[in-house]
Chains A and B, each alone.
Chain A
Amino acid sequence: MKFDSIPSGITAFAPLAAFVAAFGLSVTPASAQSPNAAVIAANCAVCHGQGGAGAGDVVKINDKTPAQITEAMVAFRDGKKPSTIMGRIAKGYTDAQVAAVANYIGKK
């Protein structure tokens, strides 16, 4: 898992927009729907460890492929894979976010 740089995502942001506007410029909103994988994946670290290395009873996830992670998250979300907490968490993520995080953390 690399944390060396975070991908850029651009959306409307008032202070910077005002700053740019002051120069008679404008900023093109880029794909606001493209999730910033490094930032979202960082949420996993509080239980799964930085980079998904696992800790104690919480499983290592960085040895899984992106497809395996995605499959597990979908199964958690749909209640097909039993869990204590992951079902509740998986329901909070969109397909695009799951895919981005899986690609980011998963074994390449």
Chain B
Amino acid sequence: MTTTRRQFLKAAGATGAGTALMLSGCAGMEGSGGKVVVIGGGFGGATAARYVKMWSPNTEVTLIEPSRSYVTCPFSNYVLGGFNTMDKITQGFGGLTGAGVKVVHEAATAVDTAKKTVSTASGTMAYDRLIVAPGIDFIWDGVPGYSEAASEAAPHAWKAGPQTALLARQLEAMSDGGTVVIAVPRGPFRCPPGPYERASMIAWYLKGKKPRSKVIIVDPADNFSKQGLFLEGWKKHYGDMIKWVPGKDGGKVERVDVAAKTVKTEGETIRAAVMNIIPPQRAGAIARTAGVADNTGWCPIDPLTFESKLVKGVHVVGDATIAAPLPKSGTAANTEAKIAAAAVVEMLAGRMPSPQVLSNTCYSLVTPDWGISVTAVHGNPSSGITTPQGSGGVSPAGRDDAFRKQEAAYARAWYTSITKDAWG
């Protein structure tokens, strides 16, 4: 027996639980009606809110984000490199408001997934479907000797904002000949190539201002994202200024002493002029509040819809998800948000989402004009994320400076486009 959409909607409406579906039935192709609440205004949340509203104008979309602006982690390393500014990586929410998204600058304090409500300090709002984009939280005690308080002396700068500015000030204040230590956390963590791009950007700054200085990366892992390209670029541009200590050579951190400015690894104790300690991570707190994080600390999702595998009616996008082989990157959050937005619109309308395409593009700079990239294209059936054979991968090694300069220019275009895409 087959069912027409109208019959389906009628059946759904008869339960009393299908209000949104009935709204959609009335609205036809104008949109899907209903109420969508998005929690979190980063790459994932902003994109999700924008695209639900774009694809279904008569859906009421509310974005809950306590901050009045969002400072992007992408391009924050270039502030450390001395050729970008905090204001250029700060995004406002006016574009989303202009697009018809209601933006509430409060923290979501409670989520009732049975009653389908989200609470903030000023009240409780109902949703038909909820999208959470929790980002990451730090596991502060994941590095012995480190803490949230210690991050004021030894910044993580892994959530961009005051921490980025603090690390930049410390680099400016250090004497020539000092050592900057970057401690990489165990995976998975936000922005897999981030620590290595950061080393590049700090080296760029030091090469120009404090050329006798060193950057040491201490790493529990034995390999890293875009490794061959980074190593090629470091050798070419920085000689032996950057030293990477992998886990097999004792790179795992055992303890940090922020007061003494020492980092003790399995292999040695390093005295640092500047310490950049990046703690291990898990999904942001709202994931636990909403019950969508599992015992790994991250959020299992159905790749077809990015709906939580733990709580129906709640979609999760961005760094908080378990969506390998997609990395925890801004572009991944953006593409996941579009899949979730499309699925939400389809489901509100009583239609069934079909598999689409997820894509990730991630640029890193080794110098301001020497760019490298990794990209990937994926299918998203419920059975698991797929990768078409031969697609994606890192940019070729051994290319000339013109090629690398072009990639650096494309990185800047990417930032312009993706931030406009998400925040408007």
Interface residues of A (CB under 8 A from B): 3-6, 8-17, 19-20, 23-28, 32, 34-36, 38-40, 42-43, 45-50, 55-58, 84-85, 88-89, 91-94, 97
Q: Which residues of A contact B56 (CB under 8 A)?
A: 5
In the complex, the chain B residue whose C-beta lies closest to that of A10 is B352
Instruction: Tell me how many residues of B have a C-beta within 8 Å of chain A.
Output: 66
Do B339 and A39 have beta carbons less than 8 Å apart? yes
Residue contact A85 to B2, C-beta cutoff 8 Å: no
Q: Does B421 contact A (CB under 8 A)?
A: yes
Q: Is the CB of A89 within 8 A of B12?
A: no
Q: List B residues at the A interface (Cβ < 8 Å).
A: 1-3, 7-8, 11-12, 29-31, 51, 54-57, 304-305, 307, 312, 331, 334-335, 338-339, 342, 345-347, 349-359, 361, 373, 375-378, 382, 387-388, 390-393, 395, 403, 406-407, 409-410, 412-414, 416-418, 420-421
Point out the residue from B8, B352, B373 that lies within 8 Å of A85, measured CB to CB: B373
**Residue of A38, A42, A89 contacting most chain B CB atoms (<10 Å):** A42
* Cα-based distance from A8 to B345 in the complex (angstroms): 10
Residues in B neighbouring A9, C-beta threshold 8 A: 346, 353-354
Question: In the complex, which of the residues B355, B377, B388, B409 contacts A32, with contact meaning CB atoms closer than 8 Å?
Answer: B355
Closest CB in chain B relative to A6 CB, distance in Å: 5
- What is the minimal beta-carbon distance from A38 to any residue of chain B, in angstroms? 7
Q: Which of A43, A58, A91 contacts B357 (CB 8 A)?
A: A43
User: Known pairs A3-B51, A6-B55, A13-B352. 20 more at Cβ < 8 A?
Assistant: A6-B342, A6-B346, A25-B1, A32-B354, A36-B356, A39-B338, A39-B356, A40-B357, A45-B418, A45-B421, A46-B335, A46-B414, A46-B421, A57-B409, A57-B410, A58-B413, A88-B391, A88-B395, A89-B377, A93-B388
B387 closest partner in A (C-beta): A92
